[in-house]
Structure 1
Amino acid sequence: MTAASSKLAILQPKGFPQGTPEFEQRRGAILEAFAKKVPPELRLPVDLIASPPLDVSNIPSTCGILTPREVDITENYDASGLAEAVAGRQLTATEVAISFSKRSIIAHQLTCCLTQWFMDDAIEQAKELDDYLEKNGTTVGPLHGVPISIKEHIPLAGTYSSQGSFASIVLNEKDCYMVSILRSMGAVFYCKTNQPQTIMHLESTSHYGRTLNPFNIHLSAGGSSGGEGALVAMKGSVLGIGTDIGGSIRCPSAFCGIYGFKPTSYVLPMKDYLAHSFSAELNVLCSTGPMCRSLRDMDLLMRSVLAVKPHLLDQKLIPIPWTGLKTSNTKPLKIGIIENDGFIDPQPPVKRAIAWARERLSDPKYSDTFQVKTFKPYNAEEAWSMICRMYWLDGGQLAKDDIVSTGEPILSLSDWIWKEAKPHGMLNAEDVNQLRATRDEFRYKFVDSWNEQDVDIVIGPAFVGPACAHDTALYWTYTSLYNLVDYPGVVAPTPIRTEAKEQYATDYRPLSEACKHVKELWEASNFEGAPIDLQINARKYHDNELFGALAVLKDVLELP
């Protein structure tokens, strides 16, 4: 590869606040170091970046940078298929690593989805795996040669991580536990992906830039695992690892039309994920999980990681054997359909997707398989207010102090997410204890309501709309509810796409001021082309049963 210049053109249709000159100089140095790694032959034409189409999702396969075989490798396999092809020697780990490394950097120029890119390291890892297979006639594990992308805050040896601010950047000398498990199974690491300031926005805008939605660049790719969402949607990754404490796996997956799974807490290991503890987890627990292109890849990740009994080293974990898609369910499967949560009525294309799913599942030919009923989540408005306070037990002041300490600007979504907690300031131990009691009381009422409505799973919106316009990801009610009660959730793609000039129903009446605002946001932007996912949830620690239900739903809801 030939030498690269110190500037790399990245598509950024909307700017964001500038920091102090000193901050911008240091930020520029990071971006320059990244750019120097990208050779000219992997760079898109500057005029394309200057005048892009609305939908950039097909550019990687048509720009001429990838060979036909590299296009085939990145587009026509999921992670399970790649593992099979490498093990069967139809593909080498090296050519797979090269293909995804190249496609990921193309995706980055179009969506700003990466924070770090290390193609040379990936090729070296892959060559070692190929040599091992040649010498031993067997793979090192179930992920042998599978490229896996990693969210920026998750420690990977020899790379940097942060907690969503410039001041928190650290160089990681060793892998966290999850990464070490994946590496031991043969996974190849080639990039890290963008996340937002504070890791607590549903839009991934940080000192690395603003991540764009591949299907409409004027829309968000979601957050906080938005870089993963965009990269998988651009087919620059088959399998990524995200985290979720309010929707951070499910929302970006839904915004980008891919699969995402938030397990119940303490199912998958998160040991050493953050350099410093996050006080929100005193009351709201985070989860880690897969973001990918197929049902079976979510299952592959869960099955592979849990097979090594990670609870033996991460003692927070509950040792639940994984049966996943092979889990049997009682018939008929009782499905609750969520039209709205009683707080915010979803925007038109989401309502179309709900209606589509209800119609499919209510077909008389499935009467012995499904029992479909309307479901109303318990007090979503109270849950939203409660969880916003629980995220910031210090009123957001420590995070703010950390951000401004380097001259980094405070982004509007940071101010938004801690505004509910800010008036309460720093809570003392008894304040936190009382919040926990309130949370537990809510959880009991939630499960009582679930039992009264008598469902096995619920299907509903993943967000108040499709991917939102930049800087308007304000209402996380449809996902954060399940973090508060700690229920597992999958988001899965539908055939529904947002159409131009869709209108609210003539009989629409707002359910709340927030609901009214959501309609105003809809009318202020163009959402054309945005994909729609639906969210499927089950009871706490019924993760296996959730996957068993997905296996039954697969054909009816056209789930790849």
Structure 2
Amino acid sequence: MPGMVLLSYPLLGLSLLTVLAAALLVAILHFWQGAPARTKIPKAQKRREIALQQMAALAQRLREQEPGLDPKPILELPLVKLAQKLQAEELSLESVLCSYLEEALKVHQEVNCLTDFLGECEKELQALKKLKKSERGLLYGVPISLKDPYDCLGHDSTCGLAQFLEKPAAEDGVIVKVLKAQGAIPFVKTNIPQTLLRSLKCSECSNPIYGQTLNPLNLKKSPGGSSGGEGALLAAKGSILGMGSDTGGSIRIPASFCGVYGLRTTGNRLRYSVVVLEEVSTVAGPMAQDVDSLVLSMRALLSKDMHQLDPTVPFMPFREEVYSSNRPLRIGYYESDGYTEPSPSMARAVRLTCRLLQDAGHEVIPFSIPRIEYAVHLYRAGVYADGGATLIQKLEGDIVDPSMKMVVSILRLPNPVKSILAWILKNTEYQQEFIAKWKSLDLDVLLAPSLDPAFYIGYGSKAIESISYTALYNLLNFPVGVVPVTTVTLQDEEEQAFYKGYYGDSNDRNFAEAIKGSLGLPVAVQCIALPWEEELCLRFMKEVETMTKNQREPK
């Protein structure tokens, strides 16, 4: 036996050398496979630089037409007022577009949020001027921003992947067509994390092509992801209306981190397709600076154009009677999902909102999430339904962003290991269980914490379990809106020093680190409705906004 043990040492050494050699070979292979990406990326960065120069040149040409233009009053107008003034010709299309071109460029210089300029906006402006008043849509002359994956004729939709560079869209996507039919002027595209999967990186917004986007409210913090470029641009008033998408909170996290408003719609209420992971339900939704703006955008998007362009989308016009109702609501609420301990500011935001809702005559009822750990596992199963094969395939030949490296390493493990990490379960049963509990309490809507305050850059993949607050409603396919209701106070920061989390593991510790130094940053809540009830969701959001907008909190 001793001889056999001694004999095994050389074999062990040989095995280790074999493993190391194989790892080195894989590293070399990935380096060479990444060569095309290393060639394409500098070209893409140069194209962006030229595009932004063209954007500045257009702004200059428009300003020369109105040399006395003061953009500040225009930028301070809420969307509904801006749209009214454009319809009434109290403001020129040129003055509004010029104001937002200039402001978006300023914001980009500070936070790196733009990926492309849509130069055709100049021709679209001229085409709008030729319309009769009766032909003008609800968003006539409104400049809007689009998250990178929205297809625009002649422009790349990269998803942060080099393999999608130099493959311009053959036509506008359905949502872009609908927005243009309603008179909107798309003028920029905004940055995203690599592959869009915020749920894999939690709160990051960086990719190897366009780099890291910063939060304009605190440049050490992330704007969230994957609609992080939209959140940053809207927060700094470089856009008045944007379109994002949501796979695990990709609209709601940036809205929360940046202090703006966002709506995750029910799947297939709006037409949206994403090119990276087809097995994951990704939905479209608007982002803006108040609830009225979201309502106006949904009225425009839910026009007959959507169904005509894509008959698979049900024709469901905006239901004004639901949104305008003033009957008291039965509102379920919870301060914690039972999986990730909320930050003190998250829990306080829910308590504050509940009190205001009760004072306004609504009824609030405690609610607890059924089987939250099971729900989190179900969500993971959906994201990794193929063991991550699709994601790995999309990343082959690409430079992997630092925020993705840990996830990619796990997904490259042998299949038997991945099968343990990514077992497939159906979520229909859980959805019905959740709805049954909702119905048993006779709820109209549900109030929940949103994930905030904003994380320090680099902590997204370290505190990944905190997706529980947002990913749950992607699993359930419920419409959810985010409303900022307060800001982080000194007392919140003091209480945060004692944060332990429910598990005391590295994720809990990293979450505590990620949200430090957040005094004054926005804190939001989530407003939730049952599937296809976007109008009720927005009505609830409006109630919360109205009651909390002027609420003064102790500093």
Query: Which bracket does the TM-score occupy, shorter chain normalised?
Result: 0.7 to 0.9
Task: Kindly indicate whether residue 467 of structure 2 is the aligned counterpart of residue 480 of structure 1.
Answer: no
The code of the aligned residue for 1:460 comes to A
Q: Give the partner amino acid of 1:99.
A: S
CA shift, 1:122, in A, is 2.3
Given candidates 370, 375, 399, the residue that maps to 2:367 is 375
Q: CA deviation at 1:289?
A: 0.9
Task: For residue 430 of structure 2, give the secondary structure of its aligned residue in structure 1.
Answer: helix
CA contact (8 A) 1:400 1:410 kept: no
- Give the aligned partner of residue 124 of structure 2: 125
Q: 2:241 aligns with which of 239, 242, 253?
A: 239
Post-superposition CA distance 1:248-296 (Å, at most 9, x none): 11111111111100111111112xx33x463423xxx221110001211
Three-state SS of the structure 2 residue aligned to 1:243 is strand
SS of 1:254's equivalent in the other structure is helix
1:292 matched to 2:292: no
* Contact 2:190–2:229 (8 Å) recurs in 1: yes
Q: Which residue of 2 aligns with 1:111?
A: 111
CA–CA distance in structure 2, aligned partners of residues 41 and 128 of structure 1: 19
1:516-539 deviation digits (Å, cap 9, x = unpaired): 733543246422332111111011
Distance in structure 1 (CA, Å) of the matches to 2:271 and 2:497: 48
TM-score (structure 1 length as normaliser): 0.81
For 2:104, what is the secondary structure of its paired residue? helix
CA distance in 2, matches of 1:80, 1:418: 47
What amino acid does structure 1 have at the position aligned with 2:395? I
Task: Name the CA distance, whole Å, in 1 between partners of 2:454 and 2:320.
Answer: 29
Q: Does 1:445 align with 2:445?
A: no
1:264 is matched with: 266
The Cα of 1:418 is off from its aligned counterpart by 8.7
Does 2:467 match 1:467?
no
Structure 2 counterpart of 1:165, from 161, 167, 182: 161
**What are the equivalent positions in structure 2 for 1:333-344 lying under 5 Å apart?**
333-344=329-340
CA contact (8 A) 1:267 1:318 kept: yes
Q: What does 1:272-283 correspond to in 2, within 5 Å?
A: 273-274=273-274, 276=275, 278-281=277-280
The 1:329/1:188 distance shift into structure 2, 3 A limit, reads: closer
Q: How big is the shift at 1:205?
A: 0.7
Q: Mapping of 1:388-467 within 5 angstroms?
A: 388-406=380-398, 408-413=399-404, 415-416=406-407, 419=410, 435=424, 438-463=426-451, 465-467=452-454
User: RMSD in angstroms over aligned alpha carbons?
Assistant: 3.2
Letter in 2 for 1:128: A
1:92 shift after superposition:
1.0
**Structure 2, unaligned stretches of length 5 or more?**
1-30, 58-66
Q: Helix, strand or coil: the match of 1:186?
A: coil
* Whole-Å separation in 2 of the counterparts to 1:448 and 1:487: 14
2:385 match: secondary structure: coil
Kindly provide the CA deviation profile for residues 340-398 of structure 1, in whole angstroms up to 9, marking residues without a partner as x.
001111112222222221222233xx3xx311122212222222222122112232233
The 1:150/1:509 distance shift into structure 2, 3 A limit, reads closer
**Distance in 2 between residues matched to 1:41 and 1:315, nearest whole Å:** 36
Match of 2:536 among 535, 540, 545: 545
- Alignment partner, residue 221 of structure 1: 223
The whole-number CA distance in structure 2 between the counterparts of 1:311 and 1:419 is 41
Shift of 1:414: 5.6
The answer to whether the Cα contact below 8 Å between 1:229 and 1:252 also exists between their aligned partners in 2 is yes
Specify the SS of the correspondent of 1:116.
strand
Cα gap change, 1:512 to 1:262, in 2 (>3 Å): same
1:331 is displaced (CA, Å) by 4.2
* Maintained 8 Å contact 1:403/1:410: no
Partner of 1:536: 527
1:26 counterpart (40, 49, 65): 40
Give the corresponding residue for 1:3.
none
- Measured after TM superposition, the shift of residue 328 of structure 1 is 5.4
**Equivalent in the alignment of 1:98:** 98
Task: State how many pairs are aligned.
Answer: 499
Q: Do the aligned residues in 1 keep the contact of 2:277 with 2:390 (CA within 8 Å)?
A: no
Counterpart in 2 of 1:48?
none
Q: Is the 8 A contact 1:395 1:425 kept in 2?
A: no
Would the aligned equivalents of 1:459 and 1:535 in 2 still touch at CA under 8 Å?
yes
Of 523, 548, 551, the match for 1:557: 548
Deviation at 1:137, TM superposition (A): 4.6
Say which structure is richer in helix. 2
Q: Is the 8 A contact 1:262 1:287 kept in 2?
A: yes
Are the equivalent residues in 2 in contact too, given 1:259–1:492 (CA < 8 A)? yes
Work out which of the residue numbers 185, 193, 198 in structure 2 matches 1:196: 193
Change over 3 Å in CA distance of 1:409–1:85 after alignment to 2: same
Distance 1:157 1:316 in 2: 22
Preserved CA contact (<8 Å) 2:85 2:91: yes
Whether the 8 Å contact between 1:280 and 1:390 is mirrored in structure 2 is: yes
- 1:446 CA displacement: 1.4
Q: 19-28 vs 477-486, which deviates more?
A: 19-28
Identity %: 27
Give the greater-gyration-radius structure (CA).
2
Structure 2 SS opposite 1:255? helix
State the shift of 1:320 in Å: 2.4
Picking from 487, 495, 500, the partner of 2:486 is: 495
Aligned twin of 1:61:
none
Amino acid at match of 2:459: T
Corresponding residue number in structure 2 for 1:49: none
Letter in 2 for 1:213: N
| Letter of the 1:223 counterpart | G
**Native 8 Å contact 1:155 1:174 kept in 2:** yes
1:10-46 alpha-carbon deviations (Å, 9 max, x no partner): xxxxxxxx99676445322221222234459969xxx
Q: Deviation digits for residues 442-474 of structure 1, max 9, x if unmatched?
A: 1122122223344221112121x3111112222
What is the TM-score of this pair, normalised by structure 2? 0.82
- After TM superposition, the structure 1 stretch with the greater mean CA deviation from structure 2, 392-401 or 334-343, is 392-401
Structure 1 portions without partners, runs of 5+: 1-17, 44-65
User: Would you say the 8 A contact 1:302–1:322 is kept in 2?
Assistant: yes
Q: Is the 8 A contact 1:200 1:417 kept in 2?
A: no
Moved more, 370-379 or 28-37: 28-37
Partners in 1 of 2:122 and 2:390 — Cα distance? Answer: 41
Spell out, residue by residue over 1:479-510, the C-alpha distance to the aligned partner (whole angstroms, 9 max, x if none): 11001011110001113245598033688663
Q: Deviations over 1:412-455 (max 9, x none)?
A: 34633894896657999xx99x935x311211221222233442
The corresponding residue for 2:298 is: 302
- Structure 1 position 71 matched with structure 2 position 72: yes
